[in-house]
Structure 1
């Protein structure tokens, strides 16, 4: 009856163990598939994220940042130029007003020469004899005075135009200063902020690339560890098969399906049951550790999945939704800068036009002064000749002596006024040259090349951001699917754990009668040892052999079987999957 009881226990154990072995095979196959899918998902996603991050942190984006800085610098230079321009235009305006006064004096003095010439002509008409010489002198003086006066009058008219042009430019410059100085500074600051924003995106892209690399390594290591842990499932399944092989020896005794030379009595059956109980306990102990390790690995994988999604959203969180507004702000800032620079270019053109007029005027003025110098010399000589001639004629030509002195006085006044005008013109010319040199580098108002560069880079950023948003959405979806897979895997591991919880009771039932068995006779020990040796030759793992040898020694059984060249657990694990 006791043998029948043990046979029933062994049969029940076989059924339970085989059921668990099938579940282990099925569960581990599914979990392995989940892990393979996981590795593929995150390998592709992280590779894409890393590639995209490198693209987003590339030279084009850096070029856009630098271009924004350059335009901002140009706007600041325009701001800095405004007070300098105002000062130089003021200098030119003041000089023009002084020139106007001096030109008025020149017109007055040259007019006086004409008046003296007319008086001389009247006096010459009253002379007898040498009248022709004095008439010739007075005509020559009158002609020179008229010519110079016409030249000076023309200069005065040009100067009026210049003064009007300078006044207009000063007004426009003042208006531009009032309207645009603050805007130029403000937009310059905005462009520097844009440069900083772009640089910030560049930095965050680099961070995302590093995060992707770290996550790839972490998840790859975790998946590799999980796969190694899953190989323990195959090892456990094989051990359970070997245990069932031993238990079938017990159940086969009821049907006499045993080797002919062996009589499987209750003692032998109990010894076999004791061995299988020991193997089952050791397998349970190892597999319990394996299941715990696998569950921990799956938990780490789920955490890694959540982490990479969280990192991605923390680095670019909200920027997907705000991206359009970000790019619109960039474009608006650039558009405002372009408008301001265009307005500056128009104001510059107005100044340039005035400078061109001024340059022409200064040329005329200097030519007129040069002509004036020659005329002064001629008038002075005419007066001297007239005076000498009058001296030879005596008292009747005394009036011409006075006229000659008046001509000399007028000539001196013209010369003095011309000398005063010359430094004024120099001052105006120097201010104009400084203003011209300041305006000659028109890089500050030429941004078409930079604008094109920025727009191209902004387009690259916009497209890259779109791909990034799509990839992050894809990552979020895949992560949710992965979490579902990991939940399913953990559930299967928990179910296996529940099934495994029944096996210790079976092991206890198998070895329950071990303490009541008496010491074996030599022939019994030899016979049962042969059965143990047959089982020993079926083992494929060192752990099985160790348990077997310890149990054989404890039961007093001889051991003669030599194990084939063993394949270690680690080597076998490496060949699994």
Structure 2
């Protein structure tokens, strides 16, 4: 079975190779767990403090006045929005009417082109029956055939464009129906209800704002006590580092001393003195920390009890109207967002309708040229008939039909031109005026509804956060503070194991005798040990023991070498004293 990556390390830590390893592990784990517990407590305390500020900001007079101002005009806005939609519906109906009229003209035009095709066939049949002037008749019928084919192609393209326009307008009708349903079922009723419920919601906001000032003052006292806990944790981290220094003194440094009994004696003296000083200072801090934990626990319990009645009792039941209005404002926003999507698609359909209409306009010029050709072919038929004499009588009917078709097509083109212009105007009105006006009004309504929703949500969120935070704090704060205090008490009892370690050091010290030989190696080792210290008291103990071990040296010789002058001199040691 493959071991997890952290298991070997855990086994190594569980089987200490040095007597101080247990204390080091206990120090690290105790203060780490206590720190995590304290961090959790501080986080909840900070959250409560923030909630007070949010309540004051969300429920203050300025926000109340702003809320009343926002809700005062909702009825007018509902009327304006409904009016804009009526105008939009009128523009949509106008476009549908124009498209239907244009479709009728295109149908007439297609019928005219089909009639010209029939005349073309008749002319070809008559031409085939003639015995003289066949070349003239064939030229006439051939030109008429080409003209009819070109006209048929153009009309087919116009018909296709009209089919596309019909599909787009049908899609516009669907979008307009969904838009109407969304406005009439979601937006307008809820917008009207917001204005009607403004007074009730304002009263709830005032009720929610009462009573939190006393709690805020209590919280300030709790925060003052928490700072002492943080200092206690700093003292614990400092003690851990000091124990690590003692471990280095009594393991690596002793091993480096080899058989120099004088140097070993000094290192053992340092180990005993540093251990005693560390335990002495740590005991004081632990006692203060336990008292502070209990103090914070009592203050927090009192504040939580008061807050539970304020936020989880009668006051919490006053937010029903606010929640209802928040829901209505959100429904208005959601409905307007859907309407905006419908309008966006409507504008797209209108733009495509305009593009198809422009394509038809482009074909209009070519179809008018065909109309001129039809008229010209009618004149040619008269000339051909005159030259054919008796045989040309059959073509006279063709000539008359072409003149009639020319008259009909001219009327159709005139009407189609007018219908096309009117349809383009109404398509442009849909895309630019009706949709844009409705979008502007919807934007104003959406901004106001969003402002109302945000303002109420801030108040509701602040109220809910306070109630939720204090509901959890009654369990979490008390439990976490008791846990941290218990950890400190257990750790304080664990320090008793250091007595055996100190006795072991003293026995080894009794076996080590002889003066300290200040060789370069010894001085380098002691200097390296001193440099590793992070607390001024450690250096003071070190210097005192070193002076006692070298009584013959002067004070200047025994003092540590001064740091080099410069802008950064002493900064490393000072920072180590602070950030330990």
The two structures have a TM-score, normalised by structure 1, of 0.46
The two structures have a TM-score, normalised by structure 2, of 0.46
